[in-house]
Structure 1
Amino acid sequence: MGSREELVPITQCSHHSHASKCPESQTVQQADPTEKLPFRFAPTFLLFWFVLLAAVSVPMFLRLPEGLTLVEEYAHPNEFIAERAQRILYDLERIGPKIVGTYANENVTLQLLLDEVDKIRTVMNNDMFLMEVDVQRVSGQYMHWEMINMYQGVQNLVVKLSTRSSTSTSSLLINSHFDSKAGSPGTGDAGAMVVIMLETLRVLATSHVPFKHSIIFLFNGAEETPLQASHGFITQHKWAPSCKALINLDSAGSGNRELLFQSGPNHPWLMNTYRKHVKRPFATTMAEEVFHANLIPSDTDFRIFRDFGSLPGLDFAHSYNGYVYHTKFDTFDVIPRGNLQHTGENLLSLSRGFANAPEMENPELHSKGHTVFFDVMGKFFISYTETQGKIINLSVAVAAIILVVISILRIATASRAPSSDVWSQFLLIFMLHILGFVLAVVLPIIIATLYDMADLSMTWFTNKWLVIGLYVCPALFGLAAPTVFYLSLSNNQKIAHSYKLQMVMHAHCILLAIICILLTLYGIRSTYLPMLSLGFYVCALLLNLITTLHDQGYSWSILLIIGQLAPFFYFTFLIYELLCTVIPMTGRNGTAINPDLLIGILTLLGTVLSMGFIIHLISLFRRPKSALFLLIGVMIIFVIISLTPVGFPYRAKTSVGRVNFLHVRRVFYEYDGTVSRNESGYYFDFQDRRIHYPIENALDLSKLRVVTQDCEEHMMCGFPVFNHRWAKARNEGRWLPTEQPVHIPFTPTLTLLNRSVDDVARRVRYEFELKGSTHHSLFVQALDGVTITDWSFIRNMLEQPDKWQPPYHIFFDYCADDTPLKFYFELKKTSGSLDGPLFELGVSTHFVSFEHDRGAAGEEFIRSFPNYIHVMEWPSLYERHIF
Structure 2
Amino acid sequence: MLVFFMWHYLEHITSIGPRTTGSPENEVLTVRYLLEQIQLVEQQSSDAHKISVDVQRPTGSFSIDFLGGFTSYYDNITNVVVKLEPQAGAQHAVLANCHFDSVPNSPGASDDAVSCSVMLEVLRVLSTSSETLHHAIIFLFNGAEENVLQASHGFITQHPWAGLVRAFINLEAAGVGGKELVFQTGPENPWLVQAYVSAAKHPFASVVAQEVFQSGIIPSDTDFRIFRDFGNIPGIDLAFIENGYIYHTKYDTADRILTESIQRAGDNILAILKYLATSDMLASSSEYQHGNMVFFDVFGLFVIAYPSRVGSIINYMVFLAAVLYLGKKLLQPRHKTACYMKDFFCGLGITLVSWFTSLVTVLILAVFVSLIGQSLSWYNHFYVSVCLYGTAAVAKIVFVHTLAKRFYYVDTSQQYLGELFFDIALSVHCFSLVTLTSRGLCLAFVSAVWVAFPLLTKLLVHKDLQQNGAGGKFLGTYLLGLLIPYLYALYLIWAVFEMFTPILGRSGSQIPPDVVLASILAACVMVLSSYFITFIYLVRSTQRTMVALTLVCTLTFLLVCSGTFFPYSSNPANPKPKRVFLQHVTRTFHDLEGSVTQRDSGIWINGFDYTGMSHVTPHVPEINDTIRAPCEEAAPLCGFPWYLPVHFLIKKNWYLPAPEVSPRLRPHFRLIAKEKTPWDSTRLTFETTGPSHISLYIRTHQGSALTQWSLGSGTPVTSKGGDYFVFYSHGLQASAWQFWIEVQVTEEQPGGMVTVALAAHYLSGEDKRSPPLDALKDKFPDWTFPSAWVCTYDLFVF
Q: Do Structure 1 and Structure 2 share a fold, with TM-score over 0.5?
A: yes
Structure-1 separation of matches of 2:742 and 2:488: 60
1:598 equivalenced with 2:516 (yes/no): yes
Say whether 1:185 aligns with 2:107. Answer: yes
Contact 2:631–2:639, Cα closer than 8 Å, also in 1: no
Q: Distance in 2 between matches of 1:548 and 1:758?
A: 86
User: Deviation of residue 686 (structure 1)?
Assistant: 2.6
2:176 partner SS: coil
Structure showing greater Rg: 1
Q: What is the DSSP-based 3-state SS (H/G/I as helix, E as strand, rest coil) of the residue aligned with 1:672? A: coil
2: CA distance between counterparts of 1:103 and 1:250? Answer: 23
Return closer, same or farther for 1:705/1:405 CA change in 2, 3 Å cut-off: farther
- Quote the Cα distance in structure 2 between the aligned partners of 1:196 and 1:645: 44
> Which of 142, 146, 150 is the equivalent residue of 1:224?
146
Tell me the equivalent position of 1:545: 462
Tell me the residue number matched to 2:711.
793
On the 8 A contact 1:743/1:854 being kept in 2, the answer is no
Determine the structure 1 residue equivalent to 2:247: 325
Whole-angstrom distance in 2 between the partners of 1:280 and 1:599: 30
Partners of 1:366 and 1:511 in 2: CA distance = 37
Q: Given residue 719 of structure 1, which amino acid in structure 2 is its aligned partner?
A: F
1:512-542 C-alpha deviation (Å, 9 max, x unpaired): 1122112222223222222212222012101
Q: Of 524, 531, 540, which aligns to 2:448?
A: 531
Correspondence for 1:857: 772
The 1-side partners of 2:169 and 2:336 are apart by: 62
Please, which moves more after superposition, 598-607 or 146-155?
598-607
Amino acid at match of 2:501: I
Alignment partner of 2:418: what SS? Answer: helix
Asked if the contact 1:322–1:584 (Cα under 8 Å) also holds between the matched residues in 2, the reply is: yes
Q: 1:845 to 1:433 in 2, by over 3 A?
A: same
CA contact (8 A) 2:677 2:683 kept: no
In structure 2, give the amino acid aligned to 1:137.
Answer: R
In structure 2, what is the Cα distance between the partners aligned to 1:611 and 1:760? 69
Where do residues 129-148 of structure 1 align in structure 2 (5 Å cutoff)?
129-145=49-65, 146-148=69-71
Paired residue for 1:200? Answer: 122
Q: Distance in 1 between matches of 2:346 and 2:712?
A: 63
CA distance in 1, matches of 2:553, 2:625: 39
1:823 equivalent to 2:739? Answer: yes
The residue correspondences of 1:68-217 to structure 2 (distance < 5 A) are 80-125=1-46, 127-145=47-65, 146-164=69-87, 168-217=90-139
* Gap runs ≥5 in structure 2: none
Alignment of 1:304-323 (within 5 A): 304-323=226-245
Give the aligned partner of residue 844 of structure 1: 759
Relative distance call for 1:201 and 1:274 in structure 2 (3 A) is same
Paired residue for 1:74? none
Matched residue of 2:58: which SS? strand
Return closer, same or farther for 1:418/1:813 CA change in 2, 3 Å cut-off: closer
Cα pair 2:392 2:550 within 8 Å, conserved: yes
Instruction: Tell me what 2:357 maps to.
Output: 439
Shift of 1:760: 8.8
Change (3 A) 1:675 1:491: closer
Q: Check 1:704–1:184 CA distance in 2 against 1; reply closer, same or farther (3 A cut).
A: farther
Give SS of 1:581's match.
helix
Q: Report deviation, 1:562.
A: 1.1
1:97-123 CA distances to partner (integer Å, 9 max, x unpaired)? Answer: 000000000000111111111121122
Mapping of residues 761-776 of structure 1, within 5 Å: 766-776=684-694
Q: Is the 8 A contact 1:707 1:717 kept in 2?
A: no
- Residue pair 1:252, 1:322 contacting (<8 A) in 2 also: yes
Partner of 2:611: 690
Percent identity, aligned pairs only, is 29
Q: CA contact under 8 A between 1:429 and 1:483: conserved in structure 2?
A: no
Say if 1:545 and 1:758 are closer, same or farther in 2 by CA, change over 3 A.
closer
Q: Which residue matches 1:464?
A: 382
Task: Please tell me whether residue 734 in structure 1 is matched to residue 653 in structure 2.
Answer: yes
Deviation string, structure 1 residues 287-320 (Cα, Å, up to 9, x no partner): 1121112111211000011110011111111111
Verify the 8 A CA contact 1:839 1:882 in the aligned structure 2: yes
Tell me if the contact between 2:82 and 2:140 (Cα under 8 Å) persists in the aligned partners: yes
Q: Taking structure 1 as reference, are residues 468 and 781 closer, same or farther at Cα in structure 2, changes over 3 Å only? A: closer
Q: Of residues 425, 428, 452 in structure 2, which corresponds to 1:511?
A: 428
Secondary structure, in 3 states, of the residue corresponding to 2:729? Answer: strand
- In the alignment, residue 101 of structure 2 is paired with which amino acid? D
CA distance, structure 1, for counterparts of residue 777 and residue 662 of structure 2: 13
3-state DSSP class of the match of 1:530?
Answer: helix
Partner amino acid for 1:622? R
Whichever residue aligns with residue 271 of structure 2, its letter is: S
Report the counterpart of residue 417 of structure 2 in structure 1.
500
**Structure 2 CA distance for partners of 1:763 and 1:609, relative to 1, 3 Å:** closer
From the superposition, tell whether residues 751 and 422 of structure 1 become closer, same or farther in structure 2 (CA, over 3 Å).
Answer: closer
Q: 2: distance between equivalents of 1:402 and 1:428? A: 21
Cα contact 1:160–1:217 (8 A) shared by 2: yes
2:778 is the alignment partner of 1:778: no
Q: What is the TM-score with the length of structure 2 in the denominator?
A: 0.93
SS across alignment from 2:77: strand
Q: CA 1:362/1:546 → structure 2, altered by over 3 Å: closer, same or farther?
A: farther
Letter in 2 for 1:513: C
**Partner deviation per Cα, 1:466-517 (whole Å, 9 max, x = no partner):** 2221222222233333333333446654x53122122222211111112211
For residues 442 and 164 of structure 1, the distance between their equivalents in structure 2, rounded to whole angstroms, comes to: 67
Question: 146-155 vs 624-633, which deviates more?
Answer: 624-633
Q: Name the amino acid aligned to 1:720.
A: P
How far off is 1:840 after superposition? 2.6
Q: Distance in 2 between matches of 1:422 and 1:624?
A: 25
Deviation (angstroms), 1:852: 2.1
Q: CA deviation at 1:872?
A: 1.5
Q: Which residue of 1 aligns with 2:475?
A: 557
- Tell me the amino acid that sits aligned with residue 104 of structure 1: E
* 3-state SS in 2 of match to 1:456: coil
Q: For residue 728 of structure 2, what is the aligned residue in structure 1?
A: 812
Change (3 A) 1:193 1:476: same
Q: Distance in 1 between matches of 2:130 and 2:533?
A: 56
User: SS of 1:446's equivalent?
Assistant: helix
Could you tell me how far apart the structure 2 residues matched to 1:199 and 1:180 are? 20
What residue identity is the alignment partner of 2:252?
A: D
Deviation at 1:609, TM superposition (A): 3.5
| Equivalent AA in structure 2 for residue 449 of structure 1 | V
TM-score (norm 1): 0.84
Residues in 2 aligned to 1:199 and 1:784: alpha-carbon distance in whole angstroms = 57
Determine whether 1:475 maps to 2:393.
yes
Note the C-alpha offset of 1:757.
Answer: 4.9
CA contact (8 A) 1:483 1:504 kept: no
Report the CA distance between 1:706 and its aligned residue: 4.7
Task: Report the residue type matching 1:670 in the other structure.
Answer: D
Contact 1:550-1:556 at 8 Å conserved across structures: no
Output the CA distance in 2 between the equivalents of 1:247 and 1:342: 16
Q: Cα distance 1:229–1:832, how it changes in 2: closer, same or farther (>3 A)?
A: closer
1:289 maps onto 2:231 in alignment: no
Contact in 1 for aligned 2:758/2:795 (Cα 8 Å)? yes
Q: State the shift of 1:673 in Å.
A: 3.4
Which residue of structure 2 aligns with residue 748 of structure 1?
Answer: 667
Following the alignment from structure 1 to structure 2, what is the Cα–Cα distance between the partners of residues 771 and 482?
67
Deviations 1:743-799 (A, max 9, x none): 5444222344x445559986655444322111112223444555556544345434x
Q: Tell me the alpha carbon deviations over residues 232-269 of structure 1, each in whole angstroms, 9 at most, x when there is no partner.
A: 00000001011111111100110100011111111111
Alpha carbons of structure 1 residues 469 and 784: separation in structure 2 relative to 1, 3 Å: closer
In the other structure, the counterpart of 2:403 is 485
Displacement of 1:863 in angstroms is: 0.8
Per the TM alignment, residue 220 of structure 1 is displaced from its structure 2 partner at its CA by 0.4
Over the aligned positions, Cα root-mean-square deviation in angstroms equals 2.7
**Alpha carbons 2:707, 2:715 under 8 Å: kept:** no
